[in-house]
Structure 1
Amino acid sequence: MSELVTGEAVALELRPARLPSRALAVLLDLIVAFTVYIGISIGLAAATASLDDAAQIALTIAAFLLVLVGAPIAVETLSHGRSLGKMACGLRVVRDDGGPIRFRHALVRGALGVVEILMTFGVVACIASLVSARGRRLGDVFAGTLVVRERVPVGPARFVPPPPPWLAGRFAGLDLSAVPDALWLGVRQYLTRMQQLDPQVSWAMAVQLAGDLAARTGTPAPPDIPPAAYLAAVVQERQAREARRAFAGQVPPSPGVTDAYAPPAPGAPPAAAPVPAPVPAPLPAPLPVPSPAPAPAPSAVPVVPPAAAAERPATGFVPPA
């Protein structure tokens, strides 16, 4: 594993490609290039049969440079570091800082590749790759590039056990700003693998990590808490802080509602004082409403017998007696 540092001071863990995979990728590229070169040479020989020997030699050299030098440079530039052989082997050419290569990087690699690979049959490239700590040949050294593996086997994600419920929020006041990322990584790796360790070894590692974490935070670990539970609780507190920091201000305010306690935006004019709403005038007292006159008693309505009601037509009217 190679740790590269980008311009933003971000560490990248990349796996450099070793000599066997790189040699296989170069071999595939050469097979394709020589196949194309032989086909073009046969076509040129048939098309330039009427020319003199000097013109045929010039066209042969031009075809050689175009197919075996110019074509790989163009392919790596357009594909951002992936030729046919590298795509088949899962490799890619990147800069030293992990970024994609450009034309100048591909040009330097291709120009030195003629000497390293074609003229010496790959002997110089193999020796340079074996000597280099990251398997780089001379073209990579002068171009500032690195061939890395893109298809890395990914193992199953390991679960970090949560702390006991009675430790939730107990370490909310710890200062975690001085804890380095390497220590966080060590604590996380221990928590994911502590069930696989010997109990005595696991306890010793937990005590050591808890001591390092307490020294970085400036607060000693509580003696009544097991060191593994202390580590899990502090990791959970860090994750909670990161989540609050990441999702802070994600919910937009309601339209027309402003926060009176929010600081003004830089350069914004001062907000005008709110104008109080006018107080409505009191309504006059309601006038007395006269009570309604008593309704006349309803007249007696003859009750229709059930037999007549059954003979009632669909119109709803009562038939005469």
Structure 2
Amino acid sequence: MHIFNYVKFRTPESVELEFTLAGIGNRAWALIIDYQILALTLVVFFIAWTIVSVQLVGFWKDIFGSASLLWLIAIAFITWFVIYVGYFVFFETLWQGQTPGKRLAKIRVVRDDGRPIGLQQATLRALLRPFDEFLFMGAFLIMFGRREKRLGDLVAGTIVIQAQTFTASATLIISEQARSLYEHLLQIADLSPLLPDDFAVIREYLQRRGAMALKARTALALQLTQQVKAIIDLEKLPDNFAPDLFLEAVYLAYQQRE
């Protein structure tokens, strides 16, 4: 088990991104929070189900006969399992790989290629969670696996990484010239074909360019500019739109559009 374990993704735009794997500690902390929320939800369900069952005891007997108690237990168990699985599926799908616990622990589930997970991946992870928790099998797989995957991750093709928060800090510097030109870009180009993943790549470049060698930074900025121009069908740029300036203007224009 590594103290710090990293994973690298290469985007379709050939941009290499590096993230830190979540680790057993962060994942355990997130699970404790999620289970507290789940426990409260299941207690409320149990109380409500008991009240309804007592009030409708005659109705249940008419439907299920002498086996009404067994049927009520079976229905309660199935509903409990649906709540248990549905909690993780709902939040991980809606919040792009995060549950309330994961959000507080600042970790996130993504696919093996770095893309956000969907309903299929979230469902597979949730359905296999009971197997992972049996005899702490998932914990052993996380601790001793190179990419810290439990069984659900192996089947769903996902990994858990530390979530990065993007803020308007000193690492993302937008020039004043770009601030004055992004409005012009909105007038001459349609940014609607740009997907959130495309915007994420631009944002990642703008944040990391300061640590790049000049030659690599120039080549990557030019490559990204050409790809973005092709996506938004912009054949020619004004003379004052250098690649970095263009990407900064796209960043501001995209945010304005959102």
The alpha carbon displacement at 1:142 in A equals 1.0
* Aligned-pair CA distance for 1:95: 0.4
Say if 1:7 and 1:151 are closer, same or farther in 2 by CA, change over 3 A: closer
- The CA deviation at 1:241 is 10
Instruction: Select 1:251's aligned residue among 226, 238, 253.
Output: 238
Superposed counterparts of 1:280-295, under 5 Å: none
Are 1:29 and 2:50 an aligned pair? Answer: no
- Unmatched segments (≥5 aa) in structure 2: 1-5, 61-67, 172-209, 227-234, 240-258
How many Å separate the matches in 1 of 2:165 and 2:145?
21
2:155 matched to 1:142?
A: yes
Structure 1 or 2, whichever has the larger Rg, is: 1
Distance (whole Å) between structure 1 residues aligned to residue 220 and residue 9 of structure 2: 28
Letter in 1 for 2:140: I
| 1:87 pairs with 2:103 | yes
Shift of 1:56: 1.6
Residue matched to 1:110: 126
CA distance in 1, matches of 2:216, 2:46: 69
Alpha-carbon distance between aligned partners in 2 of 1:237 and 1:93, rounded to the nearest angstrom: 30
Question: Size of the alignment, in residue pairs?
Answer: 177
Tell me if the contact between 1:82 and 1:92 (Cα under 8 Å) persists in the aligned partners.
Answer: yes
Question: Using a 3 Å threshold, how does the CA distance of structure 1 residues 242 and 61 change in structure 2: closer, same or farther?
Answer: closer
Aligned ranges for residues 1-321 of structure 1 at < 5 Å?
1-49=6-54, 50=57, 51=60, 52-117=68-133, 119-120=134-135, 123-151=136-164, 235=214, 239=218, 246=225, 249-251=236-238
Contact 1:37–1:63 under 8 Å retained in 2: no
**Closer, same or farther: CA 46–80 of 1 in aligned 2, 3 Å:** same
Question: C-alpha separation between the residues in 1 aligned to 2:154 and 2:15?
Answer: 22
Percent identity of equivalent pairs:
25
Aligned CA distance change for structure 1 residues 190 and 238 (closer, same or farther; 3 Å): closer
Provide, for residues 216-274 of structure 1, a one-character-per-residue CA deviation record: whole Å limited to 9, x for no partner: xxxxxxxxxxxxxxxxxxx379749957x95994228xxxxxxxxxxxxxxxxxxxxxx
Q: Once superposed, what is the RMSD of the aligned Cα atoms?
A: 3.4
Residue 57 to residue 12, structure 1, CA distance change in 2 (3 Å) = same
Cα distance change of structure 1 residues 251 and 8 upon mapping to structure 2, 3 Å threshold: closer
Matched position secondary structure for 1:134: coil
Please tell me whether the aligned partners of residues 136 and 146 of structure 1 are also in contact (alpha carbons under 8 angstroms). Answer: yes
Equivalent residue letter for 2:154:
V
Amino acid at match of 1:74: F
The question of whether the paired residues in 2 share the 8 Å contact of 1:81 and 1:92 is answered with yes
Write the deviation string for residues 81-116 of structure 1: whole angstroms up to 9, x where unpaired.
110100111111100111011111011101110221
Of residues 9-18 and 140-149 in structure 1, the stretch that sits farther from structure 2 once superposed is 9-18
Higher helix share: 2
Using CA pairs below 8 Å that are at least 6 residues apart, which structure has the higher relative contact order?
Answer: 2
Per-residue CA deviations over 1:278-311 (Å, capped at 9, x if unaligned) read: xxxxxxxxxxxxxxxxxxxxxxxxxxxxxxxxxx
TM-score (normalizing by structure 1): 0.48
The equivalent residue for 1:223 is none
Q: CA deviation at 1:55?
A: 2.6
Given the two structures, how large is their TM-score scaled by the length of structure 2? 0.59
Distance 1:53 1:134, change over 3 A: same
Change (3 A) 1:151 1:41: same
Whole-Å separation in 2 of the counterparts to 1:107 and 1:141: 13
Within 2, Cα distance between the matches of 1:241 and 1:147? Answer: 28
Q: Secondary structure at the match of 1:48?
A: helix
In the alignment, is the contact (CA less than 8 A) between 1:128 and 1:138 conserved in 2?
A: yes
Q: Take 2:45 and 2:22, find their aligned partners in 1: how far apart are those partners?
A: 32
Q: Residues of 2 paired with 1:236 and 1:98: CA distance?
A: 26
